[in-house]
Amino acid sequence: MGVDSDDMNEKTAASLSFQVPEPEVRPGETPDFSHVQIPRAGSVPRPPVDVEPSEIRDLAYSIIRVLNRQGEAVGPWAGGLDEEELREGLRHMMTLRAFDARMLTAQRQGKTSFYMQHMGEEAVSCAFRRALEPGDMNFPTYRQAGLLIAGDYPMVEMMNQIFSNEADPLKGRQLPVLYSAREHGFFSVSGNLATQFIQAVGWAMASAISRDTRIAAGWIGDGSTAESDFHAGLVFASTYRAPVVLNIVNNQWAISTFQGIARGGSGTFAARGLGFGIPALRVDGNDYLAVHAVAKWAVERARRNLGPTLIEHVTYRVGAHSTSDDPSAYRPKTESDAWPLGDPIIRLKNHLVAIGAWSEERHKQAEAEIMDKVIGAQREAESRGTLHSGGQPSARDLFEGVYATMPPHLRRQRQKAGF
């Protein structure tokens, strides 16, 4: 006994060391995504929507993919969209990309203070939106403008918000891209990360309490899953089996922080759902068909009162975090080229060409048409002003809408201000 405990003392005396996860590579090194395990397209089974969550734990560690390298749609998750729907999806993604390009330039020209783009992630929000029904409600982050574009929200309105002009539906109050579009199933975007995730669950609980048929979709970035509100969302969704689809958009980065910092020792972000008994699926977020198919599956589960689903969309943030960011300071410049899941627009385009539903010429023509539309919308929006010139929201508006009825102290402040 005595000898043993001496031994043990020696063992416990070895000093601890602090461990911090590091990304595979840093600037100046060669991009390396060999650690990202990518299953063959079509290889992941499609369970029935009323499956027992415990039977599909594997899906939290795999990646559901439909489009293969040849541009064919294969496997059990294929076949949910017809040619016209696919062409429409392509147009939505191309529109979002053109929209982003124009707004980035507008920001550089000083027409707005700030912008956030979607480059590389267009399929996620564009495809998901098409799986919802009118009346369903999204609780998005700042990187899901595809929900608006694919939901036929007018681009001019988006630009009016971005320019904070006299026609801004949010009256100049909000930072650019923090849209709100209730009629289009798009909850007011918060600047505070993760708060919307549990709110989505609350909206879904309300729908169930009210014996409604509508469902909610929550959205969150990989980095933001670390926030406590993410975990609050999961536990409420689990406890009340809320009719909600919980989306994690894993674009590998949270500003300068690689996804390993938020993921920690969990194999994947989707796996976070398992402990809560929530079915958790990982999907190729750059595969329009796969995102749509998985979204449909999860939406149907929610609609049939079978409870929540957690979806991890595996994608890559090609651009900077925002116009205030320069990623070359923290990741190799060519990292996005090495991303193994490719570009969502090119992949859908190749698929449409492969099935004879699209061509290079039609693509070029569509590109030009879309750019014309975006430029037309921008011209219209700019005629109502941009951040520093032309029509502005009134300073009077600043005091409106804090409460349903303006209390006397605010009325006094406004009077004194002379607005």
Partner 1 sequence: MARMSMIEAIRSAMEVSMAEDERVVVFGEDVGYFGGVFRCTQGLQQKYGVARCFDTPINESGIVGAAIGMAAYGLRPCVEIQFVDYMYPAYDQIVSEAARIRYRSAGQFTCPIVIRMPTGGGIFGGQTHSQSPEALFTHVAGLKTVVPSNPQDAKGLLIAAIEDPDPVIFLEPKRLYNGPFDGHHDRPVTPWSTHPLGEVPDGHFTVRLGEAVVRRPGKAVTVLAYGTMVHVAEAAAEEAGVDAEVIDLRTLLPLDLETVATSVKKTRRCVVIHEATLTSGFGAELVALVQEECFWHLEAPIMRVAGYDTPYPHAQEWAYFPGPRRVAEALVATMEA
Ligand X SMILES: Cc1ncc(C[n+]2csc(CCOP(=O)(O)OP(=O)(O)O)c2C)c(N)n1
CB closer to partner 1, 368 vs 417: 417
Give the binding range for partner 1 (CB under 8 A) out of 151-159, 335-343, 356-364, 395-403.
395-403
Position among 42, 221, 233, 393 found at the interface with Mg ion (CB under 5 A): 221
Residue whose CB is less far from ligand X, 251 or 323: 251
Q: Any contact of residue 395 with partner 1 (CB under 8 A)?
A: yes
Bridge partners, 171 (sequence order)? none
Counting contacts by CB under 5 A, is residue 121 touching Mg ion?
A: no
What binding mask, one character per residue, do residues 124-163 give for partner 1 by CB under 8 A, x or -?
Answer: ----------------------------------------
Q: Does 35 bind partner 1 (CB under 8 A)?
A: no
User: In this structure, which amino acid lies at residue 99?
Assistant: F
Residues 336-355 that bind Mg ion (CB under 5 A): none
306 pairs with which residues across the strands? none
Choice between 74 and 318, CB closer to ligand X: 318
- For the chain, the C-alpha Rg in angstroms (whole number) is 23
* Per CB under 5 A, 251 contacts Mg ion: yes
Distance CA 284, CA 394 (A): 45
Centre a 10 Å sphere on the Cβ of residue 25 and count the other Cβ atoms it contains.
Answer: 16
Task: Quickly list DSSP for 44-107.
Answer: S----TT--GGGGGGGGTS-B--B-TTS-B-STT---S-HHHHHHHHHHHHHHHHHHHHHHHHH
* Shortest separation between residue 90's beta carbon and ligand X, angstroms: 23
Cα distance between residue 325 and residue 62, in whole Å: 32
Residue 226: CB minimum distance to ligand X, A: 8
Considering the complex, what minimum distance in angstroms separates the CB of residue 172 from partner 1?
3
The whole-angstrom separation of Cα 324 and Cα 39 is 36
Of the candidates 153, 41, 145, the residue with the CA atom closest to the CA atom of residue 102:
145
Closest C-alpha to 215, from 297, 114, 317, 332: 297
Which of ligand X, Mg ion, partner 1, none sits in contact with 157, Cβ below 5 to 8 A by type? none
Closest CB 224 distance from ligand X, rounded Å: 3
Q: 312: closest CA among 219, 234, 237?
A: 219
Q: How far apart are CA 207 and CA 244, in angstroms?
A: 10
Beta strands in 109-188, from DSSP E residues, in sequence order: 137-139
Interface with ligand X (CB under 6 A):
141, 143, 191-193, 221-224, 251, 253-255, 317, 321
Give φ, ψ of 383 to 5 degrees.
Answer: -65, -15
* C-alpha to C-alpha distance for 290 and 65, rounded to whole angstroms: 5
- In the complex, minimum distance from the CB of residue 144 to ligand X, in angstroms, rounded to a whole number: 9
User: Binding partner 1 by CB under 8 A: which of 114, 180, 300, 367?
Assistant: 114
User: Nearest approach, Cβ of 121 to ligand X (angstroms)?
Assistant: 8
What is the footprint of partner 1 within residues 305-334 (CB under 8 A)? 324-325, 329-330
Q: Which residues pair with 250 in a beta bridge?
A: 314
Q: What would the x/- binding string for partner 1 be over residues 177 to 216, using CB under 8 A?
A: -x-----------xxxxx----------------------
| Tokens 């049939």 -> residue | 304
Q: What's the rounded Cα separation, in Å, for the pair 153 and 146?
A: 10
Q: Does 335 bind partner 1 (CB under 8 A)?
A: no
Binding site for Mg ion (CB under 5 A): 221-223, 251, 254
Binding site for partner 1 (CB under 8 A): 17-18, 20, 22, 26, 113-114, 164, 168, 172-176, 178, 190-194, 223-224, 226-229, 254-257, 261-262, 264, 324-325, 329-330, 387, 392-393, 395, 397-399, 402, 409-410, 413-414, 417, 419
